[in-house]
């Protein structure tokens, strides 16, 4: 007990320097770099094509960022602990399928479907966390196993067919409708984007202002030191994976609402895009450093790039090449920054 | 901020973009959003579309998601293409219902939509350029029955159980057997995601489990070529019938490892999409469905110019 409070006081003392680090430290520099790249991309594409900056296209970019952005937030927590979660994509799908089971098969009210999707995510995250913390299975393997398991379960539960949300009239509202559009009819930003930003703000608070957030960083910096100072490392780890899982539940709702269906075969490959967004945003794969804002910028870099190349009608093979180059550059920039420190 | 090395890298990326060329505004522009782009089948559709575009002085682009599961990525593609205000759009929906809001938008902006391959389940497309998969798989069943003496055990390897083509080819084959060849027994139907390796493993397991197996039908390029590998590894001799084309499949047919296959007419599908779009832009009426045809090919007619024209590597 005393040891724990000591650890907490130490963090408090360190808050001033932490503030400094936030604005001038290496993470901030990487964030600036990511932000500058995003601005450069935006400028480049708006000069290259007159349609890029049109409101319809901007709305399209925002909409297409929502799901990857939310998944990337889930990954950010886990990656800061020095772990990895490969199951986020298929977990998202499984949560969507469970929402379908509750809403379409059992015809329950919409809020129950929403709760069910998030609870499914949290539960699955807790399972992953337990595999990693208690059974000592390396995160890569544990979540790889979960990725396949959940992919299979989605197909089993849905009977390999998409589940349509035709009985739940308001379901498309979650993602497709626009609350902002009611006030500003010319700017119908889809709700999915509001949910992304609200979730990002919330996640940022959790990461920077709560014990859970502090332990997320601490586990990634030096897990052994945290353990030696008397903290129940296993419990916090399970909680962090559980949090990541519940965020995947939100992603599941967003994609299901957008497609007005739970597509059971979808999801694999989405984890790598989410991890790419996290890494571009300056979160270190070796753990201990990272920000939600960086991740969101990373997610936007990915979607702006994809959309912009599409608008320019760049051949699809080349689009993939360019995206790969950007990811490598982002990680290289991270390494350069580290060398300087 | 950006140091010199990072800056030069950024310039390099921009250079790639510029070299690969932006869309010119003056031509008629028709983007095609397909269900994939890596498979040879889609490349053949693209080639057909490009051919027709050249003849009609139009410009096309061709895109599709990496896997046929990525419904949301396909919607993003459709959204980006609509933002370019094209003259017409070609679309092969992975999930019709998910695409309806955007198709309605296209309709509101008077952009003609031409569906292709598995089509779009809606009134919005002016026409659909497609293969009658049920009838084509039925022909495969007839050929299979003929080659095994109209009796015995047969197995089917399908690419997936959710897509329209997967369902139609499976059902077309099974129904034809049931209706016309009652002595042929289907002992197993399995799904290999169109993946060569998975389909090969499935074929081997089927042969292991059913020693009297006389034939296997592979319902797409990957399933059929995978089945050929599996049969070869097991060392057994049985009648293998494929679907679609592709270098390996063609070689297997020439070497006799595969008895024959059904081919669609992907080049014709691509041509049909662009030609229909151009007709729609001129205000011509189009039929609801345009059957682009299918052919049976085997060792005897693989070099026949009529057949060779619709085969692709």
CATH number for the domain spanning B113: value is: 3.40.50.2300
**Distance of alpha carbon A295 from alpha carbon A65, whole angstroms:** 11
Least Cα separation, residue A49 to chain B (angstroms): 8
Residue A322, token pair as written in the block: 């360019």
Same domain, B80 and B176: no
If 0-12 CB within 10 Å is exposed, 13-18 middle and 19+ buried, where does residue B266 land? buried
> If you count DSSP H runs as helices and E runs as strands, how many of each does chain A have, helices first?
14, 2
Contact present, A114 and A293 (Cβ < 8 Å): no
Tokens of A66: 């929502």
User: B79: which chain A residues are within 8 Å (Cβ-Cβ)?
Assistant: 60, 63-64
pLDDT in tens, A281-291: 888 888 898 99
Q: Give me the pLDDT at residue B7, please.
A: 52
Domain check: are B141 and B256 in the same one? yes
- Judge whether B253 lies within some domain: yes
CA B119 to mean position of chain CA atoms: 12
Q: Considering only CB atoms, which chain B residues are within 8 Å of A63? A: 76, 79
Tell whether B10 is covered by a domain. no
The crossing angle, in degrees rounded to 10, of helices A233-259 and A191-209 is 170
**Which residues in chain B are closer than 8 Å to A324, comparing Cβ atoms?**
none
3-state secondary structure (DSSP) of residue A208: helix
Q: How far is B8 from chain A (nearest CA, A)?
A: 11
Mean pLDDT by groups of 10 residues along chain B of 313 residues:
52 49 64 87 91 94 87 92 93 87 92 89 90 94 95 93 85 96 94 85 89 94 91 90 89 92 92 95 92 92 86 79
Cβ distance of B20 and A48 shorter than 8 Å: no
Structural domain total, chain B: 2
Residues B142, B183 share a domain: yes
| Subunit contact A57:B83, Cβ cutoff 8 A | yes
b/e sequence A125-159, b meaning 16+ C-beta within 10 Å = bbbbbbbbbeeebebeebbbebbebbbebbbebbe
Over 90: is that where the pLDDT of A237 sits?
yes
Residue B162 and residue B117 share a domain = no
Gap between the Cα atoms of B170 and B218, Å rounded:
10
CA contacts within 13 A on the Cβ side of B290: 24
CA gap A170, A189 in Å, rounded: 17
Residue B148 located in a structural domain: yes
Do B172 and B105 fall within a single domain? no
Does an H or E element contain B289, and which? Answer: strand B289-291
Tell me how far apart the alpha carbons of residues A125 and B291 are, in angstroms, rounded to a whole number: 49
**Is some CB atom of chain A closer than 8 A to the CB atom of B11?**
no
Query: Is residue B12 in some structural domain?
Result: no
* Same domain as B213, residue B121: no
Neighbours of B95 (CB within 10 A): 24
The reply to whether B304 falls in a domain is no
Q: CA torsion, points A53, A59, A61, A64, in degrees to nearest 10?
A: -170
Measure A4 CA to nearest chain B CA, in Å: 39
Q: Is residue B30 a part of any domain in this protein?
A: yes
Distance from CA of B310 to the nearest CA of A (A): 24
The Cα of B298 is separated from the nearest Cα of chain A by a number of Å equal to: 33
- State the ipTM, two decimals: 0.71
Q: Decide: A163 and A102 in contact? Cβ < 8 Å.
A: no
Q: Is A269–B76 a contact, with Cβ atoms under 8 angstroms apart? A: no
- Asked if A315 is an interface residue toward chain B (Cβ–Cβ < 8 A), one would say yes
**Both B82 and B186 in a single domain?**
no
The C-alpha torsion from B199 through B204 and B207 to B213, rounded to 10°, is 40
Kindly tell me the sign of the dihedral angle through the C-alpha atoms of A306, A310, A312, A318.
positive
Nearest to B80 among A162, A311, A325 (CB): A311
Measured between alpha carbons, how far is B264 from B294 in angstroms, rounded to an integer?
4
**pLDDT for the residue numbered B183:** 95
CB of B267 closer than 8 Å to CB of B23: no
Across the A:B interface, residue pairs with CB atoms under 8 Å apart total: 118
- Chain A residues in contact with B62 by the CB 8 A cut-off are 316
Output the pLDDT for position B3. Answer: 53
**pLDDT score for B31:** 95
Q: How far apart are CA B81 and CA B296, in angstroms?
A: 36
Q: Are residues B170 and B122 in the same domain?
A: no
Judgement on whether residues B246 and B183 belong to the same structural domain of the protein: yes
Report chain B residues whose CB lies below 8 A from the CB of A162: 95, 162
| Summary mean pLDDT of chain A | 88
Q: Which domain holds residue B55?
A: 26-131+266-293
Q: Round to the nearest angstrom and report the end-to-end CA distance of chain A.
A: 35
Helix (H) or strand (E) holding A158: helix A139-158
With CB atoms and an 8 Å threshold, state whether A263 touches B95.
Answer: yes
Residues A197-202 have a mean pLDDT of 97
Verify that B108 and B34 share a domain, yes or no: yes
pLDDT of residue B235: 86
Query: A-chain residues within 8 Å CB-CB of B167?
Result: none
Do B100 and B156 fall within a single domain? no
The full DSSP string for B253-281 is HHHTSS-EEEEE-HHHHHHHHHHHHHHHH
B16 inside domain: no
Handedness of CA A130, A133, A136, A137 (dihedral sign): positive
pLDDT for B36: 87
At A72, list the tokens.
Answer: 């990337």
Q: Which domains does chain A have, with CATH numbers?
A: 28-340 (1.10.3470)
Give the Cα separation of B164 and A186 in Å (integer).
Answer: 38
Question: Do both B40 and B85 map to the same domain?
Answer: yes
pLDDT in tens, B125-138: 999 999 999 999 99
User: Do the chains contact at A258 and B67, CB–CB below 8 Å?
Assistant: no
> Does any domain span residue B307?
no
User: According to the model, what pLDDT value does residue A26 have?
Assistant: 57
């Amino acid at each position: 007990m005393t040891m724990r409070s000591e650890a907490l006081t130490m963090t408090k003392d360190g808050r001033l320097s932490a503030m400094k680090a936030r604005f001038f430290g290496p993470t901030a520099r990487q964030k600036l770099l990511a932000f500058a790249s995003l601005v450069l991309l935006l400028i480049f594409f708006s000069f290259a094509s007159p349609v890029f900056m049109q409101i319809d296209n901007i709305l399209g970019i925002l909409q297409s960022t929502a799901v990857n952005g939310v998944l990337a937030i889930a990954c950010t927590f886990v990656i800061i602990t020095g772990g990895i979660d490969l199951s986020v994509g298929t977990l998202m799908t499984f949560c969507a399928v469970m929402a379908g089971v509750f809403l379409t098969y059992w015809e329950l009210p919409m809020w129950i479907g929403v709760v069910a999707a998030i609870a499914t995510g949290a539960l699955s995250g807790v399972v992953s966390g337990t595999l990693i913390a208690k059974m000592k299975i390396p995160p890569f393997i544990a979540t790889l196993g979960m990725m396949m398991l959940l992919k299979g379960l989605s197909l089993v539960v849905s009977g390999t067919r998409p589940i349509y949300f035709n009985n739940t009239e308001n379901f498309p509202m979650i993602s497709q409708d626009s609350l902002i559009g009611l006030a500003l009819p010319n700017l119908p930003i889809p709700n999915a984007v509001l949910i992304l930003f609200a979730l990002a703000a919330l996640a940022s608070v959790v990461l920077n202002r709560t014990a859970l957030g502090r332990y997320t960083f601490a586990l990634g910096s030096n897990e052994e030191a945290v353990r030696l100072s008397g903290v129940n490392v296993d419990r916090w780890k399970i909680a962090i994976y559980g949090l990541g899982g519940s965020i995947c539940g939100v992603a599941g709702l967003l994609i299901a609402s957008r497609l007005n269906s739970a597509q059971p075969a979808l999801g694999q490959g989405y984890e790598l895009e989410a991890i790419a967004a996290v890494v571009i945003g300056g979160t270190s794969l070796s753990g201990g450093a990272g920000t939600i804002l960086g991740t969101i910028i990373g997610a936007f870099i990915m979607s702006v790039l994809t959309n912009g190349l599409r608008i320019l009608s760049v051949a699809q093979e080349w689009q993939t090449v360019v995206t790969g180059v950007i990811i490598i550059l982002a990680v290289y920039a991270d390494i350069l920054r580290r060398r300087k420190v | 901020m950006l140091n010199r090395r990072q800056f030069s890298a950024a310039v390099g990326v921009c250079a790639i973009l510029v070299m690969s060329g932006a869309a010119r505004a003056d031509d008629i522009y028709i983007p095609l959003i397909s269900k994939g782009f890596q498979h040879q089948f889609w490349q053949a559709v693209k080639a057909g579309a490009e051919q027709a575009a050249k003849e009609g002085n139009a410009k096309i682009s061709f895109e599709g998601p990496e896997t046929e599961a990525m419904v949301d990525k396909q919607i993003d593609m459709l959204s980006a293409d609509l933002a370019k205000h094209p003259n017409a759009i070609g679309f092969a929906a992975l999930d019709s219902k998910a695409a309806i809001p955007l198709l309605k938008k296209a309709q509101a902006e008077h952009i003609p939509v031409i569906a292709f391959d598995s089509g779009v389940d809606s009134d919005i497309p002016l026409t659909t350029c497609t293969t009658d998969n049920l009838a084509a798989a039925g022909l495969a069943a007839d050929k299979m029955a003929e080659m095994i003496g109209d009796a015995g055990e047969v197995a089917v390897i399908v690419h997936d159980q959710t897509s329209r083509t997967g369902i139609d080819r499976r059902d077309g084959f099974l129904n034809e057997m049931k209706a016309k060849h009652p002595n042929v027994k289907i002992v197993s139907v399995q799904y290999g995601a169109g993946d060569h390796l998975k389909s090969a493993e499935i074929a081997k397991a089927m042969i292991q489990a059913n020693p009297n197996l006389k034939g296997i039908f592979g319902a797409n390029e990957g399933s059929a070529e995978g089945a050929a590998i599996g049969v070869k590894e097991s060392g057994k001799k049985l009648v293998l019938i494929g679907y679609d084309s592709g270098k390996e499949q063609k070689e297997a047919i020439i070497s006799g490892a595969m008895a024959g296959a059904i081919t669609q007419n992907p080049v014709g599908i691509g041509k049909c999409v662009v030609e229909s779009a151009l007709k729609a832009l001129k205000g011509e009426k189009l039929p609801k469905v345009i059957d682009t045809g299918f052919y049976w090919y085997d060792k005897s007619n693989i070099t026949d110019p009529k057949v060779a024209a619709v085969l692709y590597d």
